[in-house]
Every structure is written in structure tokens, then in C-alpha cells.
Amino acid sequence: MKKNSNLSIVLNGIIKENPTLVLILGTCPTLATTTNVFGAFGMGIATLMVLICSNVLISLLRRVIPDNVRIPCYIVIIAGFVTVVQMLIHAYLPDLYEMLGVYLALIVVNCIILGRAEMFASKNPVGKSALDGLGMGIGFTFALCVIATIREVLGAASFAGIAIPFLENFKIEFFVKAPGGMVVYGLLIALIGALTNGKAPKKKEFSCAGCPSAGHCGNACTANGKENA
């Protein structure tokens, strides 16, 4: 697969650099909104929308925004989109709004979004940035839905709010509580690590090579980065 082809950018976010399971970003919404598949999916889609919009806009403005005020600019743009999404959800999906509560507004400080703005959108053209946002958003949504499915089915004997009659008497409440969320999350990370056979970036390497975004990083050290794809 050719590096930086459009498809590889999308797939990169979903699998190899899955923001939740590989980059371990956005853990707060991951743990908080995965008690219910409906909520997890809504959270994922809301984040996806904000990611695409903010990536596109930041990419468009990447030559205009001065380096010294880039973080405030990103935050204003991200916060603006988050508020728009929040208002839209409040108006058209009040149930989801109730369920996500404060975590919806907290998308602003979701490090995935700021991370992609800083690492990708500010250095890449609009089209690629949009695809990166799409890929990362799908990856986030996918990871959330997987965790939520495990937690909800085992912990609440239901799927997206629909009760599973067979499991009704075998609820393991632990899974819908915070510790259960951490255990499921941790096991999934371990599983991904085992499946990719250590090909996923190693967190211990704090050099450029260890950086999950080394491949897209515009810094000079990229040339020395070990790339697997």
C-alpha cells in the first residue's frame, strides 16, 4: 500500500493508528460514554463531525495562522464546531444529548482532535486532512462501539438499549461501572498489541521514530523514522 495514498490515510486512522486503541488518546470520553452502544456511537459520530470540520478548516488556514498563536486558533475553531454540533444534537437528538451530557461539550478538549490538528491538518492539504479526520473519526467510533458492545451486553444485558432476553439474569454490573470500563479498555489494547505483533508503535520510544505520527510529521527526523507501511 502506497504511503499517503488516500485510502491508506483513512485506514491508518481506523486500524494502524487507531486513536483510542493504539494512540491511547481521548480516554476520558472512551471510558465515560461506553456504557451504552447508542451513546458510544453518538459520541463517535459527534467527534467524527468535529474532526472532519476542524481538520478541513485548519488545513485551509494552515498558511494564514501564525505559528505563535496556532494553538489558540485551533482551540477556537474546535470549540466553535463542538458548540455547533452540541446545539444541533440538542435540537434534533435530545435523547442523545441527555445521555452524553457534559461529555459532549468536553469534545473540545478531546486530545484526538487537537492532536490531529497539530500533527496532520496543519501540515497537509485539505483533501488529505478531511480523509484523516474521517479515518480517525471512524477509528474512534469503531473503538468506542466495540468497548460499548462488550460493556453493555455483559453489564446491562442489552444492545443499544434493546434488552437481550437470554442474558437478563446474568448481568455483570461490574462492566458498566468505571473499573469495568478500564478493564475492557486495557484488555482491548493488549489484544490489539498482540494482533499487530508489536508492529504498532512502541510507546517506550520517545524519539521521533516512536511517535505514531512520524510518518506524517513534517520534521526533518522523519527520514530516520522506522515506517512499517
Partner 1 sequence: MKKSVKSIVVLVSICAVVSVLLALTNAVTAPIITQNEEKSANAALLEVLPDGGSFEKADITAYTLPATVTDVYLSENGGHVVKLNTTGYSSGMVLMCGINPDGTVSGTKLIASQETPSIGGAAAETYAAAVIGVDVSTAEALDTISGATKTTAAYKNAVRDALNTVIILGGGSVDLRTEEEILADALNEALPAANGAFTKHFFVEVTEGVDAIYFADNGAGAVCVVDTVDGQFIALDDSYTVITACDDTVAVAVKTAVDTVRATTTTALDLTAYAGLPEHLVKAEKTASGNYVMEIKAAGYGITGGDEYHPASGEYIMIRVSVTPDGRVIDCLTLSEEETDGIGSACADETFYGQFDGKTEETYQNIDAISGATLTTDGYKKAILRAFACVKIFEGGNPS
Is position 80 an interface residue for partner 1 (rule: CB under 8 A)? yes
In whole angstroms, the minimum distance from the beta carbon of 73 to partner 1 comes to 5
Is position 7 an interface residue for partner 1 (rule: CB under 8 A)? no
Provide CB contacts within 8 A for 25, sequence distance 6+.
19, 110, 111, 112, 115
Is position 69 an interface residue for partner 1 (rule: CB under 8 A)? yes
- 90 or 226, CB closer to partner 1? 90
Is position 76 an interface residue for partner 1 (rule: CB under 8 A)? yes
In whole angstroms, the minimum distance from the beta carbon of 88 to partner 1 comes to 6
The position carrying cell 454490573 is 173
Q: How far is CA 183 from the centre of its chain?
A: 19
Is position 84 an interface residue for partner 1 (rule: CB under 8 A)? yes
Rounded to whole angstroms, how far apart are CA atoms 20 and 47?
12
Angle at which helices 126-156 and 178-195 cross, to 10°: 120
Is position 229 an interface residue for partner 1 (rule: CB under 8 A)? no
- 83 or 222, CB closer to partner 1? 83
- 92 or 206, CB closer to partner 1? 92
| 24, 56, 60, 61: residue in contact with partner 1 (rule CB under 8 A) | 61
- 109 or 167, CB closer to partner 1? 109
Interface residues with partner 1 (CB under 8 A) are 61, 64-66, 68-69, 72-73, 76-77, 79-80, 83-84, 87-88, 90-92, 94
